[in-house]
Amino acid sequence: MNNNYIYGKNAVNEFVENFPDRVIRIYVTSKEAREQYRAKISDIKIVEKDFLDKILQTKNLTHQNIVLEYKQFNYKPFKELSLKNKDNPKTFYLILDQIHDPYNFGAIIRSAVLMGVDGIIILDHRQVEVTPTVIKASGGTAFHMDICRVANLANVIKILKEEGFWIYSSNLNEKSQDFNEVKFDTKTTLILGNENKGVGDKITKISDINVHIPTLKVIDSLNVSVAAGILIFYIARELQKISL
């Protein structure tokens, strides 16, 4: 499927409401649908349903007779992210260590945007990219977030430490501390790991502190997007990104 399409009424409505300047055009199947978006979007084409199936390259998606084509997502170079936030003593970054599920990635982005995270850093391989599914899962908020793709997370972590960041890995090892007992009051980078393996051993070893969320341990661990939401909220509050 073309990487510049999202579909479905709710996803399209939310995207148009928040990012009208990112829209290239909208494809609909009726004049009534065209009128709904005419006030904000100039390029709206009425097409047959088969055309929508064709551009999405499948008949299995429920596009609800509407498809939006958006401008390409642009990743932010890591050097630009560092320069942008160099004078912010409360900078808060996320590093994602090989997240594979686009719905998890989208949900993490959405939480990060809402809680004031300053940037997300991912690998340029073995990691889901910012796909239409990710953008849809994020509610379009991916366009509000600086996302960097890098070749080596360990090298980035070394640079971040030199810039005064403390590095926290979400981990369940024997050295992991209850996050409620950890003080987050300086430049902070939180690392979240793969859905199956968690944070890799190498990244774990070079982190300053390993943290975990206390649970009843009915199952092994929380879903990564759920864990991300809890940890992001707590750290954002500690860094005064949000207030209660």
**Residue 77 gets which letter from DSSP?**
P
| Residue type for position 4 | N
Query: Does the structure show a pLDDT above 90 at 244?
Result: no
Query: Does the structure show a pLDDT above 70 at 1?
Result: no
What domains are defined for the chain? 5-70 (3.30.1330.30), 78-238 (3.40.1280.10)
Task: Give the model confidence (pLDDT) of 39-73 as tens digits.
Answer: 999 999 999 998 998 888 876 677 899 999 998 88
Q: What one-character-per-residue DSSP string does 113-170 give?
A: HHTT--EEEEESSSS--S-HHHHHHTTTGGGGS-EEEES-HHHHHHHHHHTT-EEEEE
**Residue 198 gets which letter from DSSP?**
B
Task: Give the model confidence (pLDDT) of 122-148 as tens digits.
Answer: 999 989 999 888 988 888 889 999 999
With a pLDDT cut of 90, the percent of the chain lying above it is 67
Task: Give the model confidence (pLDDT) of 158-217 as tens digits.
Answer: 999 999 999 999 987 778 899 999 999 899 999 999 888 889 999 999 999 999 988 877
Query: Does the structure show a pLDDT above 70 at 20?
Result: yes
Cβ neighbours for 10, distance < 8 A, ≥ 6 positions apart: none
- Mapped onto helix, strand or coil, the DSSP state of residue 220 is coil
pTM of the model: 0.86
Higher pLDDT, 235 or 174: 235
Cβ neighbours for 106, distance < 8 A, ≥ 6 positions apart: 133, 134, 135, 136, 137, 138, 139, 142
